[in-house]
Amino acid sequence: MMRMWVLLLLVVTPVHASDLDQDMATFRKDVLEINKRLLLMEEELLSPADTQLAIFVSLDVGNFFVPDSITLTLDGETIESHLYTDKEVEALKNGAVQKIHTTNIKNGVHQLTAFVTGKGPNGRDYRRGATLDFEKAHGRHYIQLKMEDDAAAQQPVFNFKSWK
Amino acid sequence: MRIGASILACVLCLPAVAAERDWRLDRPHPVVDPAYGQILYDYYQGQQFAALSHILLALETGALPTQSERAQVLLGALYASYGMPGEAEKLFDQLLARAVDDELATRVWIHLGQLYYQQQRYTQALSILDTRVVDVPADLRQPYHALRTRILMKLGRYDETEGALADLGDGSVLGGYLRYNLAVSRINAGQGDAGEALLWQLANLPPGDEENNSLKDKAMLALGVHYLRSGAPARANEVLGAARLEGPYSETALLLHARAWLALQEPGKALPSLQELSKRSMQFEEAQEASIALPYLYEQLGDDATARHLYRQAIRNYTEHFRYLGELEVRVRRGDWFLDLVQMPTWSTAMDPVPPFQPRRVDSFATFRQLFASHDFHTRWRDYHEQWRQVRLLEQWQQRLPAMHELLAAHIRKHRDQVPRAEALLADVETANYPGTLRELEGRLQRAVSDNDFRVLATDEQRRLIAQLDQAALAAERWPDKLAEQKEKLDFYRRVMQWEVESRRVPLVWQREKVLAGLSGELDDMETLVERIRHASSGDMNRITQLGYQLAETHNDLVALENRGRGILTRQQQALEAKALAVIDYTRTRLKAFTAECWIALGDLENRALRQRYGADVPGDRSSE
């Protein structure tokens, strides 16, 4: 009978910190550090603080609007077009903020326009534009496009928030 | 009995993988700082590396004025799940040493508990959860209860585990896997009835998606094993008879089904399952086992001829498979197997997450099926790809460095072109002494007002006329006798002019003061601009010089780090190959044992045949021993 009951065994190795794990952890730490240094240097070179304009997008609640795409124009020129994936929309619905574009502009008056498409109330196709006139002064300038639900009107609203 | 235990172990190996996957913080976080929102944007999409990088970046640049500590909690959690437990623990300790608010401290304690669990410090982990965590934040409720369930299970406190499972709530796949783990743990701990009840809960779940059905299959298998182990083969037979004939557990189910019939003393009914199994690839351990079990059954049924034939066939199959393993070993040692198996994921950027585990379906896939299903292999495989991603990131930075150098050079050129112009401009401004001029004008106005000097308030035309009147009066002074009348006239005109100016004295003084105040404001603006130019022309060069040094250093660091990364990649590959070689060795040992058993059985059969043919002169066979 012995040969009938030859066993199926599974090699299950317990998880423990080996030298390799330790080396990987140290390596990852070093990579994160150098990546941070390089990102900082790149930003310093590409978008110096004095001329930097960063544009953010947020979605509050999202019952009346789910974005499909967004196109940004600055002073009449298209600077960014973005198509949203389901994961990105989900992240926005959970309260995340997307840094959609960073650019350099001169001090003075500018006009930013956002064209947003997506699904509006009752799943209908929805397209809307929103414009902001702003003055860029010294230092970094941030603009946030807030896509919010207007519960009273049962419609989405698109507002800009501008700060330095 | 051992077959039951081992199959149970085999069936148990998957849940850990599936259960770990659900450990996430992904519930809404209130966002105040945009940088924190940006971090969450990566985090919610499962882009751990990008989230880690952005947290570090935001902390470095001070972009989290209000949510720095919250971001650090997230950083610690990410460190822990990213294979950097040392960093995570250090950070959590630092956060707890500071006076963080209660809600944040609770989050830290939960993450620290998770970290201790990963480090197999179960008592400490439970102590933290039970003594430090009072109000579980809503977004951490599921991870918290799942963690507590796991810890209690590891500590063997099964009744409490059931309570913790109830807190987790029904319906989630994670809850299902934890219930399954608890059931098997209870059975293995000798609490068969309790475990059986839990397994039936899972087996009776309504059919659902692939994952749900797989969980049901596993529960049925575990029930079958349990019934076999507890001497209830009829019930085992009933459960296993309903198992699916396809899917990853079908081979095990077939083998156990045969086992149940044998336990019921009905070997004839075990034949179909074993015959079905023996048709399947010898790469499956169950098929290897069926190859020897099938002739044994025929032998038991008295069909020696078929048994003999099948033993010989089993020996041929084992020999062939042994040879195949030899070739496979060569491929593994040469690195070909790994290259075939591994797929280089396509990343759009090095910040993208590592793609899911998908080893290529190569010929040897079934040989390592159980290895691929193990948590350890999953972890190593994910680490390997993560390592590749990091090396690729370093490569990409190296490719971008020339462009960054070029940008820096452009900045330097611009600086060299504009700084002399700026300095010339500053010198002109300095020479012009605008503030001094303004002060002089203000002084003149003040003096004129206090001295009643109407000339200062006159228009240009009036000033011209007054000057001409003064000249004429001076000329009249030379002939006072002859021009006395004209002199009086001139005096009269002058007084008229003075009256005309002074009659508008108040608005004129106000107008002059306004002009001077305007000039003063413009001068302030100019001072600001001058200061900026002065700052840019001096500080800019320092910044650029610093960047230049940093870039040069970074290049060397990148090269050194990439070499280190490639070294680790090689070691990771070797570790995975060593696991494959261990499987090959283990299978070989099994095959040798099976082959030997087949030969012995054949010898016994021949011996028995000889005894039947020639009487009692032949020595007795071993099967009776």
pLDDT at B16 over 60: no
Residue A163, chain B, CB below 8 Å: the answer is: no
Cβ contact (<8 Å) for A36 and B394? no
Residue at A152 is within a domain: yes
Domain total for chain A?
1
Q: Residue B357 and residue A46: Cα distance in Å, rounded?
A: 37
Do B488 and B472 meet the contact criterion of CB atoms below 8 Å apart? no
Q: Using CB atoms and an 8 Å cut-off, which of residues 10-69 of chain A contact chain B? A: 10-13, 15, 17, 20-21, 23-25, 27-42, 44-46, 56, 58
Q: Using CB atoms and an 8 Å cut-off, which of residues 227-246 of chain B contact chain A? A: none
The CATH number of the domain holding residue A113 is 2.60.40
- Report H helices in B230-363: 233-241, 250-263, 267-278, 285-300, 304-334, 336-341
B511-515 LR contacts (CB < 8 Å, sep 24+) = B512/B445, B512/B456, B512/B457, B513/B445
The angle formed by the CA atoms of residues B291, B296 and B297, to the nearest 5 degrees, is 100
For position B600, what pLDDT does the model report?
95
Q: Residue A83 and residue A66: Cα distance in Å, rounded?
A: 12
For position B421, what pLDDT does the model report?
86
Q: Which of B11, B32, B40, B41 to mutate to test the interface with A (most CBs of A within 10 A)?
A: B41
Do B35 and B58 meet the contact criterion of CB atoms below 8 Å apart? yes
Calculate how close chain A gets to B189, using CA atoms only, in Å: 19
Residue B47 phi, psi (nearest 5): -95, 80
Which residues 6+ apart lie within 8 Å of B174 measured at CB? B18, B19, B22, B142, B146, B168
3-state percent breakdown (helix, strand, coil) of chain A, nearest 5: 30, 45, 25
Do B458 and B501 meet the contact criterion of CB atoms below 8 Å apart? yes
Q: What residue type is assigned to position B4 of the chain? A: G
User: In chain B, which residues have their Cβ closer than 8 Å to the Cβ of A11?
Assistant: 370-371, 374, 579, 582-583, 586
pLDDT at B586 over 60: yes
Residue at A62 is within a domain: yes
Residue in chain B closest to A163 (alpha carbons) equals B34
Q: Say yes or no: ipTM exceeds 0.90.
A: no
Q: Given the DSSP bridges, would you call strands A97-104 and A108-119 parallel, antiparallel or unpaired? A: unpaired
Q: What is the pLDDT of residues B336-370, one digit of tens each?
A: 888 888 766 666 566 666 666 566 667 788 888 88
Q: What spatial distance separates the first Cα and last Cα of chain A, rounded to whole Å?
A: 82
DSSP states of B540-570 = HHHHHHHHHHHHHHHHHHHHHHHHHHHHHHH
Cβ contact (<8 Å) for B38 and A40? no
Q: How far is CA B469 from the centre of its chain?
A: 91
pLDDT at B5 over 50: no
User: In chain B, which residues have their Cβ closer than 8 Å to the Cβ of A17?
Assistant: 85
Q: Which of A7, A23, A60 to mutate to test the interface with B (most CBs of B within 10 A)?
A: A7
Residue at A155 is within a domain: yes
Confidence (pTM): 0.73
Residue at A83 is within a domain: yes
Calculate how close chain B gets to A106, using CA atoms only, in Å: 15
> Maximum Cα–Cα distance for chain A, whole Å?
91
Token pair 């959970």 is found at A94
pLDDT at A91 over 60: yes
Q: Using CB atoms and an 8 Å cut-off, which of residues 405-434 of chain B contact chain A? A: 407-408, 411
pLDDT at B41 over 90: yes
Q: Which of A10, A16, A30 to mutate to test the interface with B (most CBs of B within 10 A)?
A: A10
Q: Residue A93 and residue A87: Cα distance in Å, rounded?
A: 10
Q: Quick one: what percent of chain B has pLDDT higher than 70? A: 89
Residue at A20 is within a domain: no
DSSP states of B441-487 = HHHHHHHHHHHT-GGGGS-HHHHHHHHHHHHHHHHHTTSTTTTHHHH
Residue at A37 is within a domain: no
Which residues 6+ apart lie within 8 Å of B252 measured at CB? A8, B7, B10, B11, B221, B286
Helix (H) or strand (E) holding B390: helix B375-432
Q: What is the pLDDT of residues A103-144, one digit of tens each?
A: 999 888 999 999 999 998 888 899 999 999 999 887 889 999
Residue at A43 is within a domain: no
User: In chain B, which residues have their Cβ closer than 8 Å to the Cβ of A34?
Assistant: 394, 397, 554, 557-558, 561
Q: What is the pLDDT of residues B91-148, one digit of tens each?
A: 988 888 886 678 888 888 888 898 899 888 999 999 988 888 888 888 888 888 889 9
Give me the domain span that covers residue A114.
Answer: 48-163
Residue at A4 is within a domain: no
Q: Residue B80 and residue B478: Cα distance in Å, rounded?
A: 105
Q: Residue A34 and residue A39: Cα distance in Å, rounded?
A: 8
Do A114 and A130 meet the contact criterion of CB atoms below 8 Å apart? yes
Secondary structure letter of residue A51 according to DSSP? G
